[in-house]
């Protein structure tokens, strides 16, 4: 009897030990307390050094300091129903569309008493503008002035002690430099993105549909989306270096890699004029210009492609009055080198009428200085080619009435009197064909253009043109070409060494 009791006690002890082991090992039956849960590794894979920590801190501090200086702008504007294809159908159910639409953008506080800079396209045709601050206060705003040629505008709210942004120096900006875009994209307030300056001086984007429009953008890969317009592009000191204005979207309407900002140095000059006068009293040189490519440089004796070439002059404009001629190349303005059309446009856009600028001009192998007094633009003035009306109509009856220059891809013919009348010229040869992928095609020459000059000498027939080509073998010839609308352009054309 005693042995049975002893056996039972031992069995109970064994069962207890086994059950305890089960409890300790878990088997999923008993979970540990919250304080006992251990997840993740004990240490980060990389210990940041002081430089890396400081770099990250720069972004954090800029976002913290600059975000309150950026506002959200809500706009009610007049809807343009002129393109409605059904507007003349009285039975169309949506004929009576709303006359107003709503949009949004961003802005930068530039003074403690409520002046704010934004894009012109944000507040264009606005009937009501509302500004929202980062502290959730809202104000009605008044449009002070707009400048469509630079896509800038100034608005004002009735407030004081606002956090004004520091406006930096966009000329000192370097490609590859870190920047941050701060704004309100896609109605997401106070959004910060980062990237680098991808390029400077971007132009020819077709964003401003005006002959005198200024496109001199900072390109960045910091994400910019609809609603970012008018917001700030800042460097890592928190200085505003540009105003975000446009995106490259390939028709999607959203960011796919690059955005564009207006340089702050241009912004500062425009904004001062808008605040003082409500408009920009801008001065103009009165020229049509283009960049100098390698062929043009060779044709006029420049050691390398540089400067911008004057293609046309405004009659009675500043440049013509200063003795500047078509075919001149502007190398510098006020001592600053200019190698792109938009560099010159951007610099002049910050100058008012009456301002004098000094131009360094390349003409006939020499550099000369010209002082130009900028004039206000007259709307009825336009750039016109200079056509010599007094040149006698020479007889073009020549043994060589047509010619094909296969090695440069160009076919030309002598002109008849009625053709000269059509093009409003007294001399020249007509281009009748251009070979695809040839040097002539690369320079955008095409049929129904007239070559009136070669190497700045008038051309009356095909023979004279061929002699001009021969004189530039192994180099390039400078051609002046006119279309049937009276527009003229200088073109450089490479002539092979073995030209015959």
In a domain, 20, yes or no: no
User: Across residues 255-278, what is the average pLDDT?
Assistant: 89
In a domain, 91, yes or no: no
H-run or E-run covering 410: strand 410-414
Catalytic residue among 104, 106, 147, 151: 151
User: Among the three residues 238, 255, 277, which one is the final residue of a domain in this structure?
Assistant: 277
| Whether residue 134 is found in the same domain as residue 104 | yes
Write the pLDDT tens digit of every residue in 385-403.
Answer: 443 333 334 444 445 688 8
In a domain, 429, yes or no: yes
| Whether residue 267 is found in the same domain as residue 122 | yes
**R_g of the chain computed on alpha carbons:** 34
In a domain, 390, yes or no: no
In a domain, 256, yes or no: yes
In a domain, 128, yes or no: yes
Distance from C-alpha of 107 to C-alpha of 117, rounded to nearest angstrom? 6
Q: Is 421 a catalytic residue?
A: no
CA 183-185-187 angle, to 5 degrees, is: 110
| Whether residue 447 is found in the same domain as residue 366 | no
User: Among the three residues 277, 305, 336, which one is the final residue of a domain in this structure?
Assistant: 277
User: Across residues 337-360, what is the average pLDDT?
Assistant: 89
**pLDDT tier, 28 (very low <50, low <70, confident <90, very high otherwise):** low
In a domain, 247, yes or no: yes
Write the pLDDT tens digit of every residue in 305-318.
Answer: 999 999 988 888 89
Q: Is 273 a catalytic residue?
A: no
In a domain, 41, yes or no: no
CATH code where residue 243 lies:
2.40.10.120
Alpha-carbon separation of residue 376 from 244, 270, 326, 373, 381 (angstroms): 28, 15, 21, 10, 11
- The whole domain housing 485 covers 402-494
User: Across residues 16-25, what is the average pLDDT?
Assistant: 55
| Whether residue 434 is found in the same domain as residue 321 | no
User: Across residues 44-61, what is the average pLDDT?
Assistant: 82
Instruction: State how many domains the chain has.
Output: 3
H-run or E-run covering 179: strand 178-183
Q: Where are the alpha helices (DSSP H) in 399-438?
A: 417-423
Catalytic residue among 104, 106, 170, 229: 229
User: Across residues 360-376, what is the average pLDDT?
Assistant: 93
Catalytic residue among 121, 216, 273, 439: 121
Write the pLDDT tens digit of every residue in 444-499.
Answer: 899 999 999 999 999 999 999 999 999 999 999 999 999 988 888 999 999 998 88
| Whether residue 155 is found in the same domain as residue 244 | yes
CATH code where residue 303 lies:
2.30.42.10
| Whether residue 300 is found in the same domain as residue 440 | no
Phi/psi of residue 331, nearest 5 degrees:
-90, -40
| pLDDT of 271 strictly over 90 | yes
Q: In this structure, what token pair is assigned to residue 263?
A: 């340089």
| Whether residue 272 is found in the same domain as residue 291 | no
284: Cβ contacts below 8 Å, ≥ 6 apart:
212, 314, 317, 318, 348, 353, 374, 375, 376, 377
Distance from C-alpha of 165 to C-alpha of 262, rounded to nearest angstrom? 16
Q: Is 318 a catalytic residue?
A: no
Query: Is residue 475 within 8 Å of 492, Cβ to Cβ?
Result: no
User: Among the three residues 330, 351, 384, which one is the final residue of a domain in this structure?
Assistant: 384
| Whether residue 68 is found in the same domain as residue 207 | yes
**pLDDT tier, 84 (very low <50, low <70, confident <90, very high otherwise):** very low
Look over the chain and give the mean of its residue pLDDT values, rounded to a whole number.
Answer: 83
| Whether residue 323 is found in the same domain as residue 467 | no
């Amino acid at each position: 009897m005693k042995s049975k009791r002893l056996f039972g006690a031992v069995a109970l002890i064994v069962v207890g030990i086994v059950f305890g082991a089960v409890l300790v090992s878990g088997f999923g039956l008993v979970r540990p307390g919250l304080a006992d849960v251990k997840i993740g590794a004990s240490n980060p894979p990389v210990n940041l050094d002081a430089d890396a920590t400081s770099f990250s801190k720069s972004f954090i501090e800029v976002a913290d300091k600059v975000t309150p200086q950026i506002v959200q702008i809500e706009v009610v504007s007049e809807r343009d129903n002129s393109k409605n294809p059904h507007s003349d159908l009285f039975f169309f159910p949506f004929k009576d569309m709303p006359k107003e639409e709503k949009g949004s953008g961003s802005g930068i506080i530039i003074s403690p008493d409520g002046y704010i800079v934004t894009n012109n396209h944000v507040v264009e045709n606005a009937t009501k503008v509302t500004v929202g601050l980062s502290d959730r206060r809202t104000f009605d705003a008044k449009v002070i002035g707009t400048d469509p040629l630079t896509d800038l505008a100034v608005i004002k709210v009735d407030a004081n002690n606002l956090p004004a942004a520091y406006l930096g120096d966009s000329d000192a900006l370097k490609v590859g430099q870190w920047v941050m875009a701060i704004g309100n994209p896609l109605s997401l307030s106070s959004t910060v993105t980062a990237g680098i300056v991808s390029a400077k001086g971007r132009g020819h984007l077709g964003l401003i549909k005006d002959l005198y429009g200024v496109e001199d953008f900072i390109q960045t890969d910091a994400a910019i989306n609809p609603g970012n317009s008018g917001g700030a592009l800042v460097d890592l000191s928190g200085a505003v270096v540009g105003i975000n204005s446009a995106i490259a979207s390939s028709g999607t309407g959203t960011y796919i890699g690059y955005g564009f900002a207006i340089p702050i140095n241009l912004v500062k000059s425009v904004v001062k004029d808008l605040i003082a006068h409500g408009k920009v009293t801008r001065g103009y040189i009165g020229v049509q210009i283009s960049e100098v490519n390698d062929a043009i440089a060779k044709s006029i004796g420049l050691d390398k492609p540089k400067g911008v070439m004057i293609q046309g002059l405004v009659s009675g404009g500043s440049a013509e009055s200063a003795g500047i001629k078509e075919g001149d190349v502007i190398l510098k303005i006020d001592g600053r080198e200019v190698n792109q059309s938009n560099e010159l446009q951007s610099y002049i856009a910050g100058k008012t009428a009456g301002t004098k600028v000094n131009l360094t001009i390349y003409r006939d192998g020499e550099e000369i200085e010209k002082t130009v007094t900028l004039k206000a633009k007259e709307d009825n003035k336009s750039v016109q080619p200079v056509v010599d009306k007094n040149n006698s109509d020479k007889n073009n009856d020549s043994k060589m009435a047509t010619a094909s220059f296969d090695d440069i891809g160009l076919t030309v013919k002598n002109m008849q009197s009625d053709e000269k009348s059509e093009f409003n010229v007294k001399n020249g040869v007509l281009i009748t064909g251009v070979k695809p992928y040839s040097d002539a095609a690369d320079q955008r020459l095409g049929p129904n253009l007239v070559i009136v000059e070669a190497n700045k000498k008038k051309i009356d027939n095909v023979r004279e043109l061929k002699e001009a080509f021969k004189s530039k073998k192994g180099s390039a010839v400078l051609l002046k070409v006119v279309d049937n609308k009276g527009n003229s352009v200088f073109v450089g054309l490479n002539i092979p060494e073995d030209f015959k």
